[in-house]
């Protein structure tokens, strides 16, 4: 080897080392920017989930899985039996028809199963069966097939912002306006023009595209960001829901890995560092609902193994975070997408952009915007919405959909958007947070006065129930609430969604029923506590149980 070759050799070596150090540093930065919970590590979460054994409690264990003494277990069994008889009598026809339909509706089988932690599922399904059918809605109530009227806290997954009667009217009035055209697709009814005008004004953006669901709107927004930036990856934040498309759901629930997705910690400098150093990031997706519980998944009662559910909504802190995120995205040419499918039109007339005072490049809307019919919308800056390139005719970004801009949906949306322009709508939005914060205070004061270990927390009209003392039975509250005439969605007490037409009197009735339900649950002994019963101890005992069941099932398998 002559001197020049040796030098070149060392030079190459040094360059290779420098490259690997830089790659390693970026890798470490990415690891640091992941949330430390399992939700922040989708691959590990999926692997661990595959290890969770299936087992359930028999009647004895069901009532004392927390180590409660026999006297308490007896009270719990009596309470459970009473509740079960009440369900059988009161919801007879509704549960019968639900069970019948469930045979062939896979969605019902799923929502029926995931209501409580799986160890309790078998006995709960047998004795407190799901009643998932309703006959009618009226004001803030829904009526089931047995004629029971319940206050609606499901909010229809967030669609119901102004009350069911409002949507019945928007659908009817809208249908009348497009009846002459009927379901002609591909060509537009001219009222689409007014919808676009309103949506541009609300979003502050230049163009609009119509889709059939929130999931599709998010898919399109991300696809456009990838097309225009020519970069591969999307960033989503830990816990945030953006629909069920694989790329935005990299963890549990999606059987395939999402290779073009980074899940980072929200409200974290480490996440901003990743945005500033990686060159492959096309867009950042934000679901402003996460302001209520940053980095945690939507709270569902099937995950209520203990009382660790926590919320910490701080509007100013979240707004400050969004501003920092906005700056980092602008600096790096990353597309900032606000996914307002849930919170748009619920927090403020101008949506989360107005509420938090930060502008996005693309915004997705859905749910209530359809005026009661299915919808997904993307609003965006002109340069990002374009689906072809003038200088490369074969380089396009395709997005079509048979039912996009369906005349009936456009018409119901038009009624919805016109209502937003009225003084009544202005009045509704003006005092929104004050009204709902006050109601939270009222209910919490009543719960505290009764020394009940429950509290509610909110982001405006979106509420969640928190549990103040360690317990394995918090998920039972959903059944007591239903028995008091409060309709909850299948995820139970994790998300109570109020429509804005709740009057103080309606709310007072809900508060009475909530308190009565919590008292009944306490009196039946479910919130028994002891100094040894901490959240940590609960988690440890469940883990131990799982390991034992796993070992036992392995041993059984080896025997055969
Ligand atoms: C923030 C957000 N994005 C997207 C979606 C998906 O919308 P859809 O259920 O209409 O597909 C949802 C649904 O809950 C949502 O909350």
Residue for token pair 């595209």: 209
Please provide the DSSP assignment of 439-450 as one string.
Answer: HHHHHHHHHHHT
> Could you tell me the pTM of the whole model?
0.94
Which ligand 1 atom is nearest residue 339's CA?
A: 1
Planar angle of CA 326, 382, 348, nearest 5 degrees: 55
Q: What span, in angstroms and rounded, lies between the C-alpha atoms of 26 and 230?
A: 20
Q: Phi then psi for 394, rounded to 5 degrees?
A: -95, 0
Ligand 1: which of 157, 158, 212, 242 to mutate, judged by most atoms within 8 Å of the beta carbon? 242
Mutate to test the pocket of ligand 1, among 243, 368, 376, 489 (most ligand atoms within 8 A of CB): 243
310: its two tokens? 């926590």
Which pLDDT belongs to residue 400? 87
How is residue 67 written in tokens? Answer: 């180590």
Sequence-ordered alpha helix ranges (H) in 257-361 = 269-277, 315-332, 351-356
Ligand 1, residue 340: give the atom nearest the CA. Answer: 1
Q: Please tell me the distance between residue 303's alpha carbon and the centre of ligand 1 in angstroms.
A: 20
What CA–CA distance (Å, rounded) separates 441 from 463?
Answer: 12
Cβ(494) to ligand 1 under 6 A? no
Contact 282, 232 (CB under 8 A): yes
Q: What is the pLDDT of residue 555?
A: 80
Q: What are phi and psi of 93, to 5 degrees?
A: -70, -40
The 3 state secondary structure assigned to 38-106 is: HHHCHHHHHHHHHHCCCCCCCHHHHHCCCCCCHHHHHHHHHHHHHHHHHHHHHCHHHHHHHHHHHCCCH
**Range list of β-strands (E), 330-421:** 335-339, 362-366, 376-380, 388-389, 392-396
Q: What is the pLDDT of residue 346?
A: 97
Question: Which residue minimizes the CA distance to atom 8 of ligand 1?
Answer: 214
Q: How many residues does the chain have?
A: 560
Rg, Å, the chain Cα set: 26
Q: Quick check: CB of 249 below 6 Å from ligand 1? A: no
For the CA of 213, the closest atom of ligand 1 is: 10
pLDDT, position 493: 97
Give how far Cα 205 sits from Cα of 188, 299, 384, 385, 467, Å: 21, 32, 11, 10, 42
Please give the distance, rounded to the nearest whole angstrom, from the Cα atom of residue 157 to the centre of ligand 1.
9
Distance 376 CA to ligand 1 centre (A): 9
215 lines ligand 1 (CB under 6 A): yes
The secondary structure of residue 527, as a DSSP letter, is T
Check residue 407 and give its pLDDT: 98
Tell me how crowded residue 176 is: count the other CB atoms within 10 A of its CB.
10
How do the pLDDT tens digits run along the chain, 560 residues long?
Answer: 556 666 666 776 776 677 778 888 888 889 899 988 888 888 888 888 888 999 999 999 999 999 999 999 999 999 999 999 999 999 999 999 999 999 999 999 999 999 999 999 999 999 999 999 999 999 999 999 999 999 999 999 999 999 999 999 999 999 999 999 999 999 999 999 999 999 999 999 999 999 999 999 999 999 999 999 999 999 999 999 999 999 999 988 888 888 999 999 999 999 999 999 999 999 999 999 999 999 999 999 999 999 999 998 999 999 999 999 999 999 999 999 999 999 999 999 999 999 999 999 999 999 999 999 999 999 999 999 999 999 999 999 998 899 999 999 999 999 999 999 999 999 999 999 999 999 999 999 999 999 999 999 999 999 999 999 999 999 999 999 999 999 999 999 999 999 999 999 999 999 999 999 999 999 999 999 999 999 999 999 999 999 998 888 878 778 77
Helix residue ranges per DSSP H, 450-534: 477-483, 504-523
The pLDDT score that the predictor gives to residue 433 is: 95
Alpha helices in 103-241 (DSSP H): 106-113, 118-127, 164-178, 192-203, 214-229
Pocket lining: 287 vs ligand 1, CB cutoff 6 Å: yes
Burial letters for 92-109: b for 16+ Cβ neighbours within 10 Å, e otherwise?
A: ebbbebbbeebeeeeebe
Q: Which residues, 6 or more positions from 508, have their beta carbon under 8 angstroms from its beta carbon?
A: none
Q: How far is the CA of 248 from the centre of ligand 1 (A)?
A: 11
pLDDT at site 313: 94
DSSP assignment, residue 243?
A: -
Residue in 211, 214, 347 to alter for ligand 1 test, most ligand atoms within 8 A of Cβ:
214
Does ligand 1 lie within 6 Å of residue 242's CB atom?
yes
């Amino acid at each position: 080897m002559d001197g020049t070759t040796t030098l070149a050799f060392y030079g190459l070596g040094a360059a290779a080392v420098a490259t690997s150090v830089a790659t390693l540093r970026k890798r470490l930065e990415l690891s640091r920017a992941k949330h430390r919970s399992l939700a922040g590590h989708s691959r590990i979460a999926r692997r661990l989930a595959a290890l969770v054994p299936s087992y359930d409690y028999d009647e004895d264990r069901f009532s004392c899985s927390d180590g409660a003494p026999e006297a308490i277990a007896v009270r719990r069994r009596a309470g459970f039996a009473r509740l079960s008889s009440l369900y059988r009598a009161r919801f007879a026809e509704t549960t019968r028809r639900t069970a019948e339909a469930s045979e062939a509706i896979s969605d019902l089988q799923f929502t029926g199963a995931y209501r409580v932690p799986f160890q309790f599922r078998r006995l709960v399904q047998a004795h407190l069966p799901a009643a998932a059918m309703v006959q009618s809605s009226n004001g803030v109530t829904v009526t089931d097939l047995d004629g029971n009227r319940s206050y609606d806290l499901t909010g229809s997954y967030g669609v119901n912002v102004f009350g069911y009667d409002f949507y019945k009217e928007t659908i009817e009035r809208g249908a009348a306006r497009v009846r002459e055209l009927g379901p002609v697709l591909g060509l537009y009814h001219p009222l689409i023009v007014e919808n676009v005008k309103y949506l541009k004004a609300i979003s502050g953006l230049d163009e609009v595209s119509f889709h059939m669901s929130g999931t599709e709107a998010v898919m399109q927004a991300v696809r456009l960001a990838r097309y225009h930036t020519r970069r591969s990856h999307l960033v989503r934040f830990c816990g945030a829901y953006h629909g069920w498309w694989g790329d935005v759901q990299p963890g549990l629930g999606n059987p395939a890995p999402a290779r073009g997705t980074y899940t980072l910690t929200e409200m974290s400098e480490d996440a901003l560092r990743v945005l500033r150093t990686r060159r492959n990031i096309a867009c950042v997706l934000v679901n402003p609902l996460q302001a209520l519980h940053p980095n945690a998944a939507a709270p569902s009662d099937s995950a209520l193994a203990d009382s660790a559910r926590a919320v910490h909504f701080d509007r100013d802190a979240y707004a400050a975070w969004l501003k920092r995120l906005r700056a980092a995205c602008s600096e790096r040419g990353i597309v900032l997408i606000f996914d307002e499918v849930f919170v748009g039109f619920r927090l403020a007339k101008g949506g989360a952009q107005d509420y938090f005072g930060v502008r996005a490049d693309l915004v997705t809307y859905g749910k209530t915007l359809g005026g009661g019919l299915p919808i997904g919308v993307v609003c965006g800056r002109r340069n990002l919405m374009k689906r072809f390139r003038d200088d490369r005719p074969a380089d396009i970004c395709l997005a079509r959909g048979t039912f996009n801009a369906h005349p009936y949906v456009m018409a119901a949306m038009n009624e919805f958007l016109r209502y937003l322009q009225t003084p009544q709508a202005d009045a509704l939005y003006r005092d929104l947070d004050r009204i709902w914060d006050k109601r939270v205070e009222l209910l919490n004061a009543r719960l505290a006065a009764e020394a009940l270990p429950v509290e509610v927390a909110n982001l405006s009209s979106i509420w969640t129930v928190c549990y103040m003392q360690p317990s394995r039975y918090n998920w039972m509250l959903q059944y007591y609430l239903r028995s008091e005439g409060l309709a909850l969605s299948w995820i139970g007490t994790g998300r109570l969604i109020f429509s804005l037409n709740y009057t103080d009197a309606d709310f007072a009735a809900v508060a009475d029923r909530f308190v009565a339900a919590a008292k009944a649950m306490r009196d039946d002994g479910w919130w028994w506590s002891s100094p040894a019963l901490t959240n940590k101890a609960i988690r440890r005992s469940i883990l131990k149980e799982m390991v034992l069941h796993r070992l036992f099932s392995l041993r059984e398998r080896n025997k055969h």
